A and B are shown apart, each in its own frame.
Chain A
């Protein structure tokens, strides 16, 4: 399983755009990049997933360069409620109902007024 590296923590203020970069140098050809968000006392929640270039949904954007060795989660105009731990994971497409996931340290994002 590809190992990921993220900053341990980031601070921001309400209304700002936050970009969290994840390094995954040994990503495999069939690996996808997925980001999860975890609030205290809750299980991780899927945010966004991509394979290459750019993916955007109602919550975030995910930028993946051509070499796919890194990815950047972009949160537009964060609010206090975006304070959480963000995990970047890489895993292959599944044919058997899911893959075991390896969680790294994650990035603790703290948003202040």
Chain B
């Protein structure tokens, strides 16, 4: 299993500002994923963070709004840019196994409130 930490655990931000969320894993992993969970909803994948290449974004999510960095095999950041109240959500990162049957491990999430 993998141990994942996220910073910050929560934040309250003003409209128009940006927040960078950090995800740290205790072991090297190939792929990291960023999800959004809006209040009372299920999880939606934002993008896949690949080490050494640009992130792959899902439909409805763009790099200008959610830039992602992946500088090494244990760390990634997600920035929520030019925030609006609609961005208020929980943002979670996850990692998968190196290979074999897919069992992903999730971080505790970052609860973002935009005023």
Point out residues on B near A: beta carbons under 8 Å.
4, 29-31, 33, 35, 42-45, 48, 58, 90, 92, 94-109, 111
Interface size on A, residues (CB 8 A): 26
Given contacts A49-B103, A104-B42, contact A94 B108 (CB under 8 A): no
Residues facing B in A27-46 (CB within 8 A) are: 32, 34, 41-46
A93-B99 Cα distance, complex, nearest whole Å: 7
A34-B100 Cα distance, complex, nearest whole Å: 14
Distance in angstroms from A44 CB to nearest chain B CB is 5
Distance in angstroms from B24 CB to nearest chain A CB is 14
Interface centre among B100, B101, B108 (most CB of A within 10 A): B101
Closest to A105 in B: B42
Do the beta carbons of B44 and A93 come within 8 Å of each other? Answer: no
Closest to B98 in A: A97
Distance in angstroms from B60 CB to nearest chain A CB is 14
A98-B94 Cα distance, complex, nearest whole Å: 9
Distance in angstroms from B51 CB to nearest chain A CB is 9
Do the beta carbons of A43 and B31 come within 8 Å of each other? Answer: no
Closest to A91 in B: B102
29 chain-A/chain-B pairs, Cβ below 8 angstroms: A34-B102, A41-B90, A41-B109, A41-B111, A43-B92, A43-B94, A43-B106, A46-B104, A46-B105, A49-B101, A87-B42, A93-B99, A93-B101, A94-B100, A96-B99, A97-B30, A97-B96, A97-B98, A97-B99, A98-B31, A98-B94, A98-B104, A100-B45, A100-B58, A101-B33, A101-B104, A103-B42, A104-B42, A105-B42
Do the beta carbons of B33 and A100 come within 8 Å of each other? Answer: yes
